Structure 1
């Protein structure tokens, strides 16, 4: 494999990407050309909000080619175009052969939820101290146990899942919270999501972990539950307040995550007509909120 690398202003990125695709590049990626310098620009917005800018002032465009001659010809052709003004070709370099699968897997290690409860990718052996394990690999659906909101929900479920109780995971993603509830004694677990891929992922992951989760669309939820857990984001959680609370039986618990610390009061106010939300856990700027309607 061979990499063609060039630097261009943000308004040229789309043009170069289309041109490289037409020149048989296997892939094209874009990075901040000023990363790890004083000129680096963060583009991350708040959860649920758009990024403050579409791109960086200077972008590094990296195209991967199978053949060196094709990559060099592409570089020569691009340098001759009018739109190359203000850009700089960094050259074509050889990409060493690597075991990309192993390299990707090495980025995902077992995640400790409690000293005895771990999330473990299938290519790792569980730690000796693990007494309860969820086997889960990174996939299309959100929820691998690495995000603070997921860990806080799982910690709560590890301690508070009612034995023989009924649990609803609203916005189930990968199904990790539903599986956690099933592993800790719930007799009936329902997982629902607006995304068909998430529903399919939940079913597959539940099967792989030898637990039963009834996964389906959000409009299939019926009845009330001992625990309703929703790890989404603050804005949809506020909209869903009456619906989620209606599914919690009298002495049950509502568990909400995906909430920034500064958003806690907003959620408290939104749920005040139905229940009293309180912060039960906090980690890395996120909070877990729990109530008994």
Structure 2
């Protein structure tokens, strides 16, 4: 069984919440925070009451350790984090392999079926679908982002389920595991393109599509061709701003653009970035993350 890799960061207390949310969005398998000054005269006591959250998210100087499935995923996460505004004052200490364990058993124990709507569920292969499930995506945790457990993924899938069968031609940009393209197929999309800069994500998408009996074209970003009835992009705010002209160019007239990976406080900057082409609005919110959508005039 191959090793996992740990991204180690040094961060001030003020950055811990944003770092944790971003690492979650980047599909870190686990995130831990400890006092970087432990066992020194600068060590701080930080304890909460039993059954209550701690009084602070982190220490004045916190050591953040995030576990990833591959070295490439850990290094990509480090690069993306360093591009974020909230990374100011933080430092990447390194990426290192961690000792091998029975990670398959550990990971399986942490993933149960995920409800998107009462009749639409994401179900790992080792679980039976709930009795109420009319639509099911079979998806196991893997090397690419998107298992249905993160709020950004759930909001995208809820939007797809609510829209029904109105988007026959769909682009999933930054597809990760391919979960959004597969979800669109479950609700009637007939032509599906899924693209990602990570070849491992492209392969994961192909495998997951096959497991769900979905036909799609998966490839690197240049595989996205022409215009689509629906363009989905669940990434992070900074790359979404950079990609604004490209993503909008792929949306046909009267087509939909759905963006996720955005914190609620980033709504105005996304609206401004996309204003030359579409008028974005917040259509869903969960745990501090928002879904922004637009229909192209």
| TM score, norm. by length of structure 1 | 0.70
Match for residue 140 of structure 1? 143
Aligned partner of 1:196 in structure 2 is 199
2:247 matched to 1:231?
no
Answer yes or no: is the 8 Å Cα contact 1:170–1:230 preserved in 2: yes
In 2, the alpha carbon distance for the partners of 1:185 and 1:290 equals 20
CA RMSD of aligned residues (A): 3.0
Give yes or no for contact 1:164–1:188 (8 Å, CA) kept in 2.
no
* Residues 177-198 of structure 1 deviation map (CA, whole Å, 9 limit, x = unaligned): 0000001110111100111101
Q: Distance in 1 between matches of 2:243 and 2:63?
A: 29
1:32 is aligned, of 31, 34, 41, to 34
Among residues 199, 211, 215, which one is paired with 1:212 in the alignment?
A: 215
Q: Cα 1:212–1:38, aligned 2, differ >3 Å: closer, same or farther?
A: same
C-alpha displacement of 1:292: 1.0
1:283 pairs with 2:291: no
Contact 2:144 2:177 in 1 (8 A): yes
Question: Following superposition of structure 1 onto structure 2, how do residues 119-130 of structure 1 map, counting pairs within 5 Å?
Answer: 119-130=122-133
Per-residue deviation, 1:105 = 1.0
Is the alpha carbon distance of 1:43 and 1:155 closer, same or farther for their aligned partners in structure 2, counting shifts above 3 Å? Answer: farther
Partner of 1:22: none
Q: 1:247 to 1:161 in 2, by over 3 A?
A: farther
Q: Distance in 1 between matches of 2:263 and 2:105?
A: 34
Report the secondary structure of 2:226's partner residue: coil
Q: Distance in 2 between matches of 1:266 and 1:31?
A: 29
CA drift of 1:43 comes to 5.0
Determine the C-alpha separation between the residues in 1 that align with 2:99 and 2:246: 48
The answer as to whether partners of 2:193 and 2:217 remain within 8 angstroms in 1 is yes
> How big is the shift at 1:163?
4.2
SS in structure 1 at match of 2:176: coil
Change (3 A) 1:106 1:267: same
Q: CA deviation at 1:160?
A: 1.2
Task: Please give the per-residue CA displacement for 1:168-226, whole angstroms capped at 9, x wherever unaligned.
Answer: 00000000000000011101111001111010100000000011111011012111111
Measured against aligned partners, the alpha-carbon deviations of 1:104-128 in whole angstroms (never above 9, x if no partner) come to 3111111100000000110011111
1:106 alignment partner, SS class: helix
Match of 2:243 in 1: 240
Name the CA distance, whole Å, in 1 between partners of 2:268 and 2:167.
33
Indicate yes or no: 2:123 matched with 1:111: no
- What's the CA shift for 1:159? 1.4
- Pick from 90, 114, 117 the counterpart of residue 52 of structure 1: 90
Post-superposition Cα deviations, 1:21-50, rounded to whole Å, max 9, x if no partner, equal xxxxxxxxx973769961763556996534
Look up the match of 1:185. Answer: 188
Unpaired runs of 5+ in structure 2?
A: 1-9, 11-31, 48-57, 65-77
CA distances 1:208-260 after superposition (whole Å, capped 9, x unpaired):
00111110110121111110000001111111111111111111100000000
Kept after mapping to 2: 8 A contact 1:277/1:291: yes
Unaligned 5+ segments in structure 1 are 1-9, 11-29, 56-62, 66-97
Aligned length: 228
- In the TM superposition, residue 161 of structure 1 has moved relative to its aligned partner by 4.4
Distance (whole Å) between structure 1 residues aligned to residue 193 and residue 276 of structure 2? 26
Single out whichever of 35-44 and 141-150 deviates more from structure 2: 35-44
